[in-house]
Structure 1
């Protein structure tokens, strides 16, 4: 009897452990996404530029080490890499509350912690994405991604609210401590997985530089992967330029308290649950590629409402925009991840994923930095509007690419 017949992938012990560990880790990280800026803004009185720099530091490692990380991970079993990365992340983030409680915390340390955590995240994400197809059957990938993205989105709903409550009750650094604990739980879950990856056939190992080049060539020559990588980069500049100054906008421009800011961001994150749940159903009706474009277009258009927000009931504009963006982005991520895991050969997956991620996630660092600079010079509300407009333009251009012109993503390379 298959796991699907018995109730789905959550009946599989190993997948359930992976799901539990990743969901817990995402919950901790979603707390830290709010807690770190709150520590910077409330505890250290950091500038808008410094808050944007903090976001950029977390994603900069994709630009610096993303390509060699992909080739390196392709050479090795994925689970041990994931274990080491989460162990390092636990220790790095634990240093923040320790420094705060001893009166030694500085903005420099926060940026270094964000950078070190970002390095671990690069290796973990590449290994994690390559590990999932070896853990389950190919035809279960859509279900697996829906469950993982759905639970991660649910965790992201609770994370900001918990960050606000923890900041209110125990101080902003308590949220960073919770993130460190979540990485520890993830390590325990990963260690308990019984599945072992199949050994790769022995072959002469080529130079790391050549393997990196192979991944880049594969990406650049494929019309679908190339378009998704470029679109992802432009979209991430807009999304992260917007998101990197959300806390500043809520706390300083709208006068929202710490607890309320966490609650508002929790409501925003609820859209991700809807996006994960509906993406498969939409794809079944109109096709996987069309569903991807629809999710992105819906989020982009609704994003324009965010800068219109003001105090009181005017926060509804911010919540509606954020909810819709979360739904669109998570829904499109489910479809994108499933397409890649079915389409890219297993032996190339780490390199191709890293090649794409260097562009798209490297753009997150640029977006965070750009959001901080423009927020400081042009104004926070104006920057939010500019980033929303950039996202709309990116989706419009997507319509004229191979992704925008087809009904379904291909499952095999021609």
Structure 2
């Protein structure tokens, strides 16, 4: 009588992930810790050791994502033409060398704001290719029927690394200085590239149909696919708005914590890590939430619910307001974590294999370009008004970013479409 349930349970046990995906996941895990350590350490180094102004901090943040505006769209064409594993490996080793130049220059006494600008910009170029290649390769590695589960795992891992990386970054910066923290970033890129170089797809997947036509025609096909799709267009508008408004806040938080509140890098790392907790909870709950209320509602309803809490972040101060601002920051990040899993799965599900690279590049161009615009706007507001103005503008505008999805066919979409 007891054997049947055991057999049924074994049949329902999830199918193990392919080795190729496990290696991609491991590389993401390693890379994620170092990336978030460096993301905290670089602005802290600029503010605390190079006496950067709010405007220079804004420029630094803008340059970290400017590559997506400069080469984001053509990168999609190149990724659709090139072996994706090679793109990922080269991007990781190149970024490792670039990031390593920062602590070396600091210890030699040569480091300057212009060098930081250059390193951040060129590292962003590597990130363009790595992000587009990874998201375009995922459907081939796991199959389209497991995209939501795979994206949930990847996004929840990314959120965990955000917690660990920023918390670790704050502690390392506080105890051992920012240049040492940046060394961890360089090492993580090198180790990630080594892991990725071992990926060998196990199943004989059909060869991707290669794009035909001129470079400009191929590039335009990706843009038209996103702009002309009634599901992808509002998703792009909403997510770009989220990125822009969140960047208004994150760009000025180091200035607020280090100069205005004098709380130190460790407190900044913990606060940003709280956002990672929210993003992790969002990524973990996204799948069940989408199955319960539908993928479309899971994209807009969380934004409506957390909109009032975003204003708490703009009021961050010492004492009880620090805790309330942390709750608001966690809520915003939870909404982002849900949206990332559902949105990426929707994008991949609505796009044929041959267009995946260009679709992802178009989204990256828009979404990370929004980060660039947000960073520039934050720098201008911080320089010519004050840093609190940037936080207030970010909170108010973030509360409106769910509207493009609500006013589109996505509003009641139950499941992601399957490409023809």
C-alpha displacement at 1:233, in angstroms? 2.1
Q: CA deviation at 1:410?
A: 3.8
Residue among 277, 280, 285 paired with 1:278: 285
1:283-362 equivalences under 5 Å are: 283-362=290-369
The Cα of 1:133 is off from its aligned counterpart by 0.6
Shift of 1:277: 0.8
* Aligned residue number for residue 224 of structure 1: 231
1:109 paired with 2:115, answer yes
**C-alpha separation between the residues in 2 aligned to 1:219 and 1:305?**
34
Residues 2-401 of structure 1: pairs in structure 2 closer than 5 A = 8=14, 12-195=18-201, 198=205, 200=207, 205-401=212-408
Moved more, 385-394 or 187-196: 187-196
1:192 aligned counterpart, secondary structure: coil
What displacement does 1:185 show? 1.4
How many Å apart are 1:200 and its aligned residue? 3.3
The secondary structure found in structure 1 opposite 2:163 is helix
The alpha carbon displacement at 1:13 in A equals 2.5
Gaps of 5+ in 1: none
Q: Residue 417 of structure 2: SS of its match in structure 1?
A: coil
For residue 197 of structure 2, give the secondary structure of its aligned residue in structure 1: helix
Residues 300, 395 of structure 1: 8 Å contact kept: no
**What is the aligned partner in structure 1 of residue 3 from structure 2?**
none
1:160–1:266 Cα contact (<8 Å) kept: yes
RMSD (Å), alpha carbons: 2.0
Return the alpha-carbon distance in structure 2 between the equivalents of residues 330 and 188 of structure 1: 28
8 A Cα contact 1:72 1:208, kept in partner: no
For residues 27-50 of structure 1, give each alpha carbon's deviation from its aligned partner in whole angstroms, at most 9, with x where no partner exists. Answer: 111111110010001110100111
CA distance in 1 between counterparts of 2:351 and 2:264 reads 46
- Equivalent pair of 2:167/2:273 in contact (CA under 8 Å): yes
- SS at structure 1 position matched to 2:105: helix
Contact 2:91-2:129 within 8 A present in 1 as well = yes
Given that 2:209 and 2:354 are in contact with CA atoms closer than 8 Å, whether structure 1 keeps it comes out as no
Q: Structure 2 unaligned runs (5+)?
A: 1-6
Deviations for 1:213-262, whole angstroms, at most 9, x for unmatched residues? 11111112111111111222222211111111111112222221122221
- Alignment partners' CA distance in 2, 1:378 and 1:265: 24
Q: If the length of structure 2 is used for normalisation, what is the TM-score?
A: 0.93
**Counterpart contact for 1:269–1:322, Cα < 8 Å:** no
Report deviation, 1:397: 4.5
| Aligned residue pairs, count | 411
Contact 1:271-1:325 within 8 A present in 2 as well:
yes
Structure 2 CA distance for aligned equivalents of residues 86 and 298 of structure 1: 38
Distance 1:25 1:337 in 2: 20
Give the CA deviation at 1:203. Answer: 6.2
Q: In 1, Cα distance between the equivalents of 2:404 and 2:138?
A: 32
> Is the Cα contact below 8 Å between 2:244 and 2:374 reproduced in 1?
yes
Do the aligned residues in 2 keep the contact of 1:240 with 1:364 (CA within 8 Å)? Answer: yes
Match of 1:56, SS? helix
Give the TM-score taking structure 1 as reference length.
0.94
User: Displacement, 1:7?
Assistant: 5.8
Q: Does 1:407 align with 2:387?
A: no
Within 2, Cα distance between the matches of 1:189 and 1:179? 16
Aligned-pair CA distance for 1:165: 1.2
Q: Contact 2:58/2:380 (CA < 8 Å) preserved in 1?
A: yes
Cα 1:182/1:203, change in 2 over 3 Å: closer
1:296 Cα offset (Å): 2.9
SS in 1 for 2:345: helix
Task: Note the alpha carbon deviations across 1:59-117, whole angstroms, 9 max, x for none.
Answer: 11111111111011111221110110011111010101111111111011111111001
Alpha-carbon shift at residue 295 of structure 1 (Å): 2.9
> 1:11 Cα shift?
5.0
Q: 1:201 to 1:185 in 2, by over 3 A?
A: closer
